Structure formats: C-alpha cells, structure tokens
Amino acid sequence: MAIIDELEKRSVLILGLGREGMSTFTFLRKRFPLKVVGLADKLSWAQLEEQTRQVIESDGRVALFLGHEYLKSVSQYDIVFKSPGISPFIRELSAARELGKISSNTALFFERCPGTIVGVTGTKGKSTTVSLIYEVLKTGGIDARLAGNIGIPPLSSLDGAISTTVFVAELSSHQLMDLHESPHIAILLNVFREHLDYYQGLEAYVEAKQTIVQYQTENDNVIFNASCPITRRMVNKSKARKIPFGVGPIGDVGCFLENDFLVFRADGRQEKIISAEAVPLKGAFNLRNAMPAIVIGKIFGIPNETIAAAIQNFRPLEHRLELVRTCNEVSFYNDSLATIPEATIAAMKAFPKRRLILLVGGFDRGQDFTQLARMILMSDVKEVVLFPTTGERLWDEIVLGASGKSDLPKHVFVMNMSEAVQEAYNSAQRGDIVLLSPAGASFVGFGDYRDRGNRFKAEVAKLVDQHP
C-alpha cells in the first residue's frame, strides 16, 4: 500500500523540525487539513526557528514533543517521518525500523513524483554535479528542478510538477537509507570513508548508498565512476543500463577524457563535447563531476553545443574550491566543504605547479591521514596551518612519513580563522596559493562548513582592505 494511503487512518509523527521536517509537515497538512500530527525535536520551544514556531502556533492541530525526552514520542505513533540528520541507530528508532514504522520526506517524494528522477550520490562532488546537470537540462529547454540535499527538501519541489518534469536530486546516504525505490537515472560519483560516526562501519555506509541502484529496472540508467572500486561493485546490484565515466576509454558507451577533451561514446560513434580547458572548474575531480552532466544531456537528446555552453557558463559553488580574493598576487581559495582527506588531496592536485600554504584540520572522526601526509610531503607545500583537533594528528603523520628528513614544511598550530589567515599571508610570496581545505568536519569552533568558509572569506576581505 502507498505511504500516502496509509496516513489517512494512522497516527503520524514528524521527527526533527528543521527544513526537511517542516517541508513534510506542510505537505501533509495540505493533504490532511484536519489531522492531528505529532511534531518532535530535541530542541526546546525557544530554540526552534522563529518561522517554525509561527507555523506551529498558527496550526493548532499538533501534538508537540520537545526537549531531551523527545524520542519517547516515537513508540506512540504508527508512522514516523524521520529527518535524515537523526541517527537511525538510536534505540527507540531501531525498534521502530524493525516494525516498519520509519518513513521520510524523500520516500514520500519518490512515491508522489509524477516526472523523472535523476538521483546523484557520492561522498564528495554531489552538489557540483547536481548543479551542472540542472544547468545542462535547463539550457536544453527541459523543465528541470533541483531537489534533495542541495537545500530544497524533495517534497517542496513537487508543486505544479507534471510527467515531463525532471527532478535532479542530491541524495545523501542518510536520505537513501530507508528508501525502497531507486531513481530512474542513478549517478554514483565515489565512495570514501565518511560519516563513520553515524554508521556502524564502512559497509553500513555503502549499504545505505546502495539503495540508489538497488530497486532499478531494465528501463532505468545508472551512470557511475569507473575509477572508484566501490561504485564499480555497487552497480552490480542494478538491473539498469550501465554507463561508466572516467579518465580514459572505458568501453562501448560512456564519457571520458581523451586528448584534453571530454568525449562521449555510444553506438559506435565518438563525439568531442568540450575541451578540459573550457570547463570553468579547477581539478581533475571536477572534470569527473562534469561527465555525468554530459551523459544526462545525451540521454535527453540535448545538442552537444548546448551541453558545452551550459558547462562553460557554470560557476563554482560556494565553499567548493572557490577563489575568494587575490591580495598582492597571493590567491586565497575556500574549499571548506573538503571534510575528508581525499577531498583535500583532490584540491591540492588542482594546483600542480603552484606553492601552497594549506589551512587544514577539524573535528576528529577517526579518519586516516596517511595519504594526505604523503601528498603534503610530495607536493610543493610551503606551510601547513593546523586547526584543532586533527591538526596535531596530521602533523604527527607528516613527521612520521618524512622518516627523519630535514625538509619538512613549516607548520604552525592556530586556534581560530583570524590567526590562520594572518599567518598564511605573512608566509606567502607572490604567486602562492593559500588553500583552506580542512580534511575534517567543522564542529570544532565553527557552526558548519558554511560558517567556516564564510569566516575565512571575511578574514581574507579584512586582509585585502589592510593591504590594498
């Protein structure tokens, strides 16, 4: 039975009153105007967003469960719409999952969506890839909408949609975990070790992401990164047509880099779509992020020149290898979204012939910094400016990897962004790159990665004002 049909006669709780939770509430209230709906959140009434409080106060048909005992409400309801940020492994939710009571904004979106869903997942690169796909579709005259983890709750994107609407959805592992449907077109970018403070090991994380292909049919498509061993393994779970992308020729169909051009191959034909130089995003990893957009363009019959124009006109997203400012020929790049070592390594590779001053370190999720330390020692890194708490661990790995060599990069430990930017500028020479690419989450001293990136940009702006 469809989720929406069950809700008529069953009690409903919305767990988590952030953006996605309130989107679910708004959707259900339109469908069931008289139904009493349970709303639960660990925050107190005073801590909720003002707009959330206004919506609740104006409704009058809700049962509220707020504060540290909010999870006690779970056992009282037949269906629980859980927000993705709440761990499913909490005791109360594990019991509810075993009873089949857990649903989500994303699950209801999949059920009610009248059009085509293009779903994108991966540890890194999702937002850039989703945005590139959206621009290609929109430039090609397709009725396209962004949805999902990029900031638009899936259900909120449904208004006025018809069968020809294409939804480009960024899907996190948290959103995928309890789904029992897969998108018509699934895109697998990469899988690295992340969120292991949320999941019970790497395999549980992979299993959550696996849902994006698990329920596909022969009529669907899966576009996957052929360079990633885990994504290659995951696509074996899909019945869909498989279209790889990567850095070299990869079979009869797919997208790849050849002679500095992004090339699409299918049906015995090979077409140059756009030169690598024309892609306005730095780094080889961003070329891979552009490849699924090319494949999507071809699937929807968009002309090559239109696909190329959409990619060429694209601008980097905020906090993703974003050029902030240049001060006395020292360039400052904000890559605050680099929350794992692999992302920082990829960012460093985007500047192969430039001296780097690297701002790195963050919340400790138990990640392995061996490869990042090796990359720092192999690269032209002039200085590492180290934030707590992983800054100390990374420096220990660098020293260990150097094996007693004397040519270690300069290093300094800092406590805040103001110190970090000033120290980097003091050490920089003309032509140097100052790169904020933390390789860790932002929970030490910052609200989130956006707050961290914005503080970096604010400090760089102050620096430019002081040194015109």
Predicted confidence (pLDDT) per residue in 209-231, tens digit: 999 999 999 999 999 999 888 99
Neighbouring C-beta atoms of residue 71, cutoff 10 Å: 17
- 107-137 b/e with 16+ CB inside 10 Å = b? bbbbebbebbbbbbbbbbbbbbbbbbbbbbb
Predicted confidence (pLDDT) per residue in 310-341, tens digit: 999 998 888 989 999 999 999 999 999 999 99
**What average pLDDT score do residues 74-86 get?**
93
pLDDT mean across residues, the chain: 92
Q: Which residue has the higher pLDDT, 432 or 405?
A: 432
Q: How is 417-457 classified by DSSP, letter by letter?
A: HHHHHHHHHHH--TT-EEEE--SSBSTTTSSSHHHHHHHHH
Class of domain 106-312: alpha beta
User: What is the predicted pLDDT for the residue at 106?
Assistant: 95
User: What is the predicted pLDDT for the residue at 174?
Assistant: 86
Class of domain 11-103: alpha beta
Helix axes 390-402, 370-378, angle to 10 degrees: 60
Q: Which residue has the higher pLDDT, 279 or 317?
A: 279
Question: Is the pLDDT score of 421 beyond 90?
Answer: yes
Question: Is the pLDDT score of 443 beyond 90?
Answer: no
| Cα–Cα dist 59/30, whole Å | 12
| Cα–Cα dist 276/98, whole Å | 49
SS3 label, residue 314: coil
Q: pTM for the complete prediction?
A: 0.85
For residue 1, name the pLDDT band (cuts at 50, 70, 90).
low
| Cα–Cα dist 164/366, whole Å | 45
User: What is the predicted pLDDT for the residue at 282?
Assistant: 85
Contact 106, 19 (CB under 8 A): no
Class of domain 322-466: alpha beta
Question: Is the pLDDT score of 194 beyond 70?
Answer: no
**What average pLDDT score do residues 414-426 get?**
96
What stretches of 247-380 adopt beta strand conformation (E)?
Answer: 254-258, 261-266, 269-275, 322-327, 330-334, 356-360
| Cα–Cα dist 445/388, whole Å | 9
E strand or H helix that includes residue 374 = helix 370-378
User: What is the predicted pLDDT for the residue at 151?
Assistant: 75
Question: Is the pLDDT score of 468 beyond 90?
Answer: no
For residue 196, name the pLDDT band (cuts at 50, 70, 90).
low
**What average pLDDT score do residues 347-369 get?**
92
User: What is the predicted pLDDT for the residue at 149?
Assistant: 82
User: What is the predicted pLDDT for the residue at 268?
Assistant: 84
**What average pLDDT score do residues 21-27 get?**
96
Contact 98, 178 (CB under 8 A): no
Predicted confidence (pLDDT) per residue in 93-112, tens digit: 989 988 999 999 999 999 99
Q: Which residue has the higher pLDDT, 257 or 199?
A: 257
User: What is the predicted pLDDT for the residue at 393?
Assistant: 95
User: What is the predicted pLDDT for the residue at 123?
Assistant: 85
User: What is the predicted pLDDT for the residue at 456?
Assistant: 97
For residue 2, name the pLDDT band (cuts at 50, 70, 90).
confident
Neighbouring C-beta atoms of residue 454, cutoff 10 Å: 18
Q: Which residue has the higher pLDDT, 198 or 458?
A: 458
User: What is the predicted pLDDT for the residue at 314?
Assistant: 94
Q: What are phi and psi of 72, to 5 degrees?
A: -65, -20
**What average pLDDT score do residues 247-263 get?**
86
C-alpha to C-alpha distances, 264 to 254, 293, 323, 372, 400, nearest whole angstrom:
6, 11, 30, 33, 44
| Cα–Cα dist 423/385, whole Å | 8
Exposure of 50 in the CB half-sphere (CA atoms within 13 A): 0
Question: Is the pLDDT score of 244 beyond 80?
Answer: yes
User: What is the predicted pLDDT for the residue at 193?
Assistant: 65
- Hey, where are the domains in the chain? 11-103, 106-312, 322-466
Predicted confidence (pLDDT) per residue in 360-391, tens digit: 999 988 889 999 999 999 999 999 999 999 99
User: What is the predicted pLDDT for the residue at 199?
Assistant: 57
SS3 label, residue 183: coil
User: What is the predicted pLDDT for the residue at 140?
Assistant: 97
SS3 label, residue 118: strand
What stretches of 276-353 adopt beta strand conformation (E)?
Answer: 322-327, 330-334
User: What is the predicted pLDDT for the residue at 273?
Assistant: 97
For residue 83, name the pLDDT band (cuts at 50, 70, 90).
very high
Predicted confidence (pLDDT) per residue in 292-310, tens digit: 999 999 999 999 999 999 9
| Cα–Cα dist 24/237, whole Å | 30
